[in-house]
């Protein structure tokens, strides 16, 4: 769920960003989460993908339904890198070896597994890096054909693009490793490739992990510097999550624990940001936007716990939004 900022606080311009579940009414932006740009970029064998034209027709059914219900369909394009080839969480989440019929060889900036004992990823060579760039471009083209109106490039949570910009996972000595400029190069090139085929009038977001929560890793100041680059390159908004690139990071998990990074990047880089992470109430979401700490609030797990969160939030904050027609007669009347 997200609310765009307004001078007078909450308005009827209420937008839903629902990651990984279904929309339940009201105008909204609905993101299909972690949609793989290649078969090897899937986190699990069960992941949704958009790496071939055969995927377009079924995705068109989703976008058509969302638009018919007054929502804006968006898609999060992702490549899991060294965190690919795992079982689904409800099946245990363990790594699947390339030798297993359900597994495949993972890739990364360097031949470093996420955790000790997991299969070692292949360090991408020049041709492999170009394939990643081409895969994101192709996925963006298919996203447009499928009817999506917003793209979010997933460069967070220890997935491939995050692995490249974090010094904890990138030990390269070529043009894609070492300096800050080299480590962000792949993300910048992916953004440019997507923009080649994505209409300028449609929003382009980038999701980052604003800190690795680990000494020697990516920091909030790095995120500000990246934000300035991405703003110059035409990115509309940075979705500020954190962590996920190394195991056992000491993360101070708690209410709104990541929101300060959205505020920092917004103010210091001058780019729109989205706040995420343990935002569980309408009042919390409203305050972040009303106080100028973020331009957007995104919820995922809270709406898995409460699929009707947007309806409850609108009621709590005094907004009259459309309800699904099947539930209209249960809508509270003021």
Q: In the annotation, is 159 catalytic?
A: yes
Alpha-carbon span 321 to 146, nearest angstrom: 27
Give the bridge partners for 28, in sequence order. 71
Tally the residues of the chain. 334
CB atoms within 10 A of CB 333: 3
Which run of H or of E encompasses 225? helix 220-232
- Choice among 159, 165, 202, 308 that is catalytic: 159
3-class DSSP string for 194-214: HHHHCCCCCCEEEEEECCCCC
Give the pair of three-digit tokens for residue 229.
């680059």
**C-alpha 30: how far from chain center:** 12
- In contact, 28 and 312? CB cutoff 8 Å: no
Could you say which DSSP state residue 201 is in? T
Catalytic annotation, residues: 159
């Amino acid at each position: 769920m997200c609310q765009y900022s307004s001078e007078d606080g909450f308005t009827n311009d209420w937008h839903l960003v629902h990651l990984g579940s279904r929309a339940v009414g009201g105008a909204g932006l609905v993101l299909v989460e972690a949609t793989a740009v290649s078969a090897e970029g899937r986190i699990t064998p069960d992941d949704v993908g958009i790496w071939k034209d055969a995927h377009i027709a079924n995705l068109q059914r989703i976008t058509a339904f969302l638009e018919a219900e007054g929502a804006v369909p968006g898609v999060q394009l992702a490549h899991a890198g060294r965190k690919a080839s795992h079982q689904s969480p409800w099946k245990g989440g363990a790594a699947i070896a390339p030798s297993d019929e359900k597994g495949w060889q993972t890739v990364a900036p360097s031949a470093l597994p996420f955790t000790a004992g997991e299969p070692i990823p292949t360090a991408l060579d020049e041709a492999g890096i170009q394939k990643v760039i081409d895969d994101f471009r192709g996925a963006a083209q298919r996203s447009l054909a499928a009817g999506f109106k917003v793209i979010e490039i997933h460069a967070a949570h220890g997935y491939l693009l995050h692995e490249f910009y974090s010094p904890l996972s990138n030990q390269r000595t070529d043009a894609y490793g070492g300096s800050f400029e080299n480590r962000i190069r792949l993300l910048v090139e992916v953004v440019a490739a997507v923009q080649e085929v994505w209409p300028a009038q449609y929003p382009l977001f980038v999701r980052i992990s604003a800190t690795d929560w680990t000494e020697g890793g990516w920091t909030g100041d790095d995120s500000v510097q990246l934000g300035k680059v991405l703003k110059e390159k035409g990115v509309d908004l940075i979705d500020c999550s954190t962590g996920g690139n190394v195991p056992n990071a000491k993360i101070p998990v708690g209410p709104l624990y990541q929101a300060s990074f959205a505020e920092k990047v917004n103010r210091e880089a001058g780019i729109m940001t989205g706040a995420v992470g343990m935002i569980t109430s309408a009042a919390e979401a409203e305050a972040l936007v009303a106080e100028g700490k973020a331009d957007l609030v995104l919820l995922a797990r809270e709406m898995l716990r409460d699929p009707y969160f947007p309806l409850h939030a609108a009621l709590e904050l005094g907004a009259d939004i459309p309800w699904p027609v099947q539930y209209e007669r249960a809508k509270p009347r003021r």
